[in-house]
Amino acid sequence: TYHGTIPSTVTNVAALERLLVQMEETEKVFDDFWEQFSGRLKQCHSLRAFEENFNIVQSSLNENLKILSEMTDVGDSVERVEVLLEELTTFQTSSYEIIKLSEDLLNCGGQLLTSKRFIVLESIQPKCDEVQRLLQTLNDRLEKRLQILNKSCELQARIQKASEWCAKGVMILGSEPAEKCISAEQSLAELEEFMSSAHHLKVESPREFYSLFEDTITPETKPIVTQVLQRLDDVTTMCDKRLASLKRYINKPRPILSVNPEPAIPINLANMTKISNGVDECDRAVQNEENNATKTKHVLTELLFTERQYTAELGSILRGYKDQMEFPDMKILIPTSLKGKSEVLFGNLESIHSFHNQFFLPALESSSSIESVAVCFTDNREKLLQLYTYYCVNLTRSEELRETVGEDNPFFKACQEKLGHRLPLGAYLLLPMQRITKYQLLLKELLHNEKNQNCITKLQKALDCMLLVLNNVNDNMHQIGITGFYGDWNDLGGLLLQGSFSLWVENKKDLLKELRLKPMRRQIFLYQQGLLLCKKVSKDNKPMYHYKKYLRMSHIGLTETVKGDLCKFEVWLEGRQEVYTIQASNLQQKQQWVSEIKRVLLEQLAELKGEKIKQYISTFGKHVNLRQTHSLDNQSETGSNRGRRPLSHHETTDDDSSDYSLTDDESLDGTIKQKVADSYISLADYNALRPTDATLKRGDKVDLLKAGSSSWWYVKVHGSKTEGWVPAAHLEISGRKSSHSSQSVCSHGSTSTE
């Protein structure tokens, strides 16, 4: 048994030893595996944490860079720049946290890259490089922004000092010149002391100034800087001239009166006094001329400075408000009732800014004389009239929209804070109205100081243009209050005049006309194509005009004077079926309206008659006055009464009138009470050349409706509805003859509301 058990024990021991060795090997393998596995897990965790922190840091850095990139305002005053510096300091403080996170992230990435690698870590280095780039960009931009604001602060401080220096210089120059030698010497000393104080401005030359502040000067501040430099140059030049003038005055030898015992002394003294007075008068004339030139230069300087400022402010409003409506981060602040209504809110402000910035301001800046400045206004009259009339008419809609959304809504407030404006948007939208009013005031000042007759003529023409623009804008402001008119406004043409009148209406068919002695008060609007009669009513303390009647200019006649009242005139329909007696508030208003109505009527005549009137005048060699004028027929709905028609009979004459008219007894061919036939036969074919002509075939029978002139007649073709103008040479008399007056009958051309 013993010998039988020994081999079994040995075997077991050997097996156990093998198992122990195997266990040790397994443990070693497991330890190696765990080391690899746990290291991989830890690095995966660290990598995931690094990537999450990278996303946070990258997003924060990009957000800070975006905020910093939007900080473009450099300020327009020292106070504003100081506020911007405080904002930048606050932003820097808030950025320190993200900067520290960025630095910690870079350290973490570096540790991962230098540690033993269990996984692929190639993505860490690009991320570290990106963070390093963003961090460096942020620091660079912060430093650059700080430098720009510091320079801007210095720039604004210099501008402020320069403006104060110029203002003081203008005050000194504007003081009355001294007449005594002692006061002149005091003025000279004061002026020299003032000129010596210019060194603290540190403005050696405009080129050096621009190069010093190249990064700070923006398109908005450039006009102001240019203007300040120009003012410095102007004031310096004027001071130099005043210094030279004072020195000449002080050094001018005084007249020495010698004592002569002869009786002729009083005569010599009198002569000497006259000579002295003559010199003084000459000096005063020269001084007055210099003062006028100085005042003119100041006005021109003010015109250019305010024009640049006005253009810059318009651009600021458009960028700070209108453009902001398109930015996604600002759209969430826009009230619902304001969305998509930028054209209502701003009108054609963008067109006004473009016109001034690209055309009007450069034209003023390039003007080398007062005449060229005046020409800038006369040449651009129509453009100014078009732009500002539209803007002012739309301003009422803009005000209503702003009242609806409120001036304190978040969008307006955010834009106002970004721009640094003290006043709300509504105040800045009034700038165009204020500017168009300012032009005529500046032109009046230039005209007042000017002595050259050629300049006076051109300035007066420019002033008349601006007053016309201003009056037309004012008239169109009244037009927007018209209610109840449902016709096409485009058919009325341009608005020429508007005003309040007393009105009497007579109608041949009205049996109660004798009882209507009390006049009606009507607001009358004169358009190119008609008269609009309205009744003024008040609504919410705003003037409104309710439409009552419309008279077409093509169907009315005019009587310039009414017996018993110089302020009255008449307009009437064909045959005086309806007569409207209009009483103006004064003679000037009456003359203005009569003149404008006559002009419109004669323009209609000229459009259709062309050279026929000149031929008529040259034939008879006389002027027939337009005291009572009838307009030409316009095209009616059937087209049958459109054509050439003489002006109606005038009741009174006026030798002062230079306009032309025809009487009942005169036709345009110059024949008084010409006898013509009723029926004619066409001698040849005639193809219509114009819409108002009639086409004829040879042998067609026609009836004469109107004898417009010796060469053109208005006819109707037998057996058809064809009517129109044909050459008289194509017609031959057919049938009986009868007296036919050249006067045609006009249809009533009015519509009304009772």
pLDDT, one tens digit per residue, over 52-104 is: 888 888 888 888 888 888 888 887 778 888 888 888 888 888 888 888 888 88
Q: Residue range 409-419: average pLDDT?
A: 88
Contacts of 505 (CB under 8 A, 6+ apart): 516, 520, 578, 579, 580, 581
Please tell me which residue, 31 or 3, carries the higher pLDDT value: 31
- Confidence category of residue 331, pLDDT binned at 50, 70, 90: confident
Question: How confident is the prediction for the chain on average, in pLDDT?
Answer: 75
What letter does residue 623 receive in the DSSP assignment? -
Q: What's the pLDDT score for residue 218?
A: 65
Residue 630 has pLDDT above 90, yes or no: no
* 675-748 CATH: 2.30.30.40
Residue 320 token pair: 């700070």
Q: What's the pLDDT score for residue 284?
A: 55
Please tell me which residue, 310 or 245, carries the higher pLDDT value: 310
Nearest alpha-carbon partner for 300 in 366, 363, 370, 381: 370
> Do the strands 731-739 and 723-727 form a parallel or antiparallel pair, or are they unpaired?
unpaired
Nearest alpha-carbon partner for 557 in 459, 630, 632, 477: 630
Residue 537 has pLDDT above 90, yes or no: no
Please tell me which residue, 671 or 397, carries the higher pLDDT value: 397
Residue 379 has pLDDT above 80, yes or no: yes
296 — alpha (psi -120 to 50), left (phi > 0) or beta? alpha
- Confidence category of residue 512, pLDDT binned at 50, 70, 90: low
Residue 29 has pLDDT above 90, yes or no: no
Residue 364 token pair: 């003023």
Amino acid sitting at position 128? C
Please tell me which residue, 306 or 113, carries the higher pLDDT value: 306
The pLDDT > 90 percentage for the chain reads 8
88 contacts 149 by C-beta, under 8 angstroms: yes
115 contacts 40 by C-beta, under 8 angstroms: no
- Confidence category of residue 622, pLDDT binned at 50, 70, 90: very low
594 contacts 524 by C-beta, under 8 angstroms: no
Q: Is the dihedral of CA 482, 487, 492, 494 positive or negative?
A: positive
Distance between CA atoms of residues 439 and 377, nearest Å: 9
Comparing 171-185, 424-438, 456-470, 594-608, which segment has the lowest mean pLDDT?
171-185
Distance between CA atoms of residues 520 and 502, nearest Å: 6
The top-level CATH class assigned to 484-630 is: mainly beta
Contacts of 574 (CB under 8 A, 6+ apart): 555, 557, 630, 745, 746, 747, 748
Residue 196 token pair: 């010596």
Comparing 31-45, 169-183, 307-321, 551-565, which segment has the lowest mean pLDDT?
169-183
- Confidence category of residue 209, pLDDT binned at 50, 70, 90: low
SS3 category, 632: coil
Which of 358-362, 485-489, 654-658 has the largest mean confidence? 358-362
Distance between CA atoms of residues 269 and 259, nearest Å: 10
Residue 601 has pLDDT above 70, yes or no: yes
The pLDDT > 70 percentage for the chain reads 73
Q: State the burial class of residue 229 (Cβ atoms within 10 Å of its Cβ: 0-12, 13-18, 19+).
A: middle
Q: What's the pLDDT score for residue 406?
A: 86
Amino acid sitting at position 588? Q
Options 1.10.3720.10, 1.20.58.60, 1.10.10.10, 3.30.110.30; which CATH number does 2-152 get?
Answer: 1.20.58.60
Domain borders along the chain are 2-152, 159-252+267-302, 305-478, 484-630, 675-748
Give strand pairing partners of 686: 696
Q: State the burial class of residue 399 (Cβ atoms within 10 Å of its Cβ: 0-12, 13-18, 19+).
A: middle
CA distances from 313 to 215, 437, 628 (A): 21, 17, 52
Comparing 277-291, 304-318, 724-738, which segment has the lowest mean pLDDT?
277-291
CA distances from 449 to 86, 237, 377, 445, 456 (A): 48, 20, 18, 6, 9
pTM strictly above 0.95: no
H/E stretch holding 724? strand 723-727
Q: What is the 3-class SS of 60-112, one letter each residue?
A: HHHHHHHHHHHCCCCCCCHHHHHHHHHHHHHHHHHHHHHHHHHHHHHHHHHHH
715 contacts 681 by C-beta, under 8 angstroms: no
Q: Residue range 621-647: average pLDDT?
A: 39
Q: Residue range 657-666: average pLDDT?
A: 34
Distance between CA atoms of residues 401 and 399, nearest Å: 5
Amino acid sitting at position 261? P
Distance between CA atoms of residues 360 and 15, nearest Å: 110
Distance between CA atoms of residues 107 and 102, nearest Å: 9
Comparing 230-244, 327-341, 400-414, which segment has the lowest mean pLDDT?
230-244
Q: Residue range 605-627: average pLDDT?
A: 50
Residue 286 has pLDDT above 60, yes or no: no
SS3 category, 577: coil
Q: Is the dihedral of CA 722, 728, 729, 734 positive or negative?
A: positive
- Confidence category of residue 6, pLDDT binned at 50, 70, 90: low
648 contacts 743 by C-beta, under 8 angstroms: yes
Comparing 189-198, 199-208, 231-240, 533-542, which segment has the lowest mean pLDDT?
199-208
Q: What's the pLDDT score for residue 644?
A: 35
Helix, strand, coil percentages in the chain from 3-state DSSP, rounded to 5: 60, 15, 25
510 contacts 497 by C-beta, under 8 angstroms: no
pLDDT 10s digits, 518-532? 888 999 999 888 899
Q: State the burial class of residue 241 (Cβ atoms within 10 Å of its Cβ: 0-12, 13-18, 19+).
A: middle
Residue 710 has pLDDT above 50, yes or no: no
- Confidence category of residue 540, pLDDT binned at 50, 70, 90: low
The top-level CATH class assigned to 305-478 is: mainly alpha
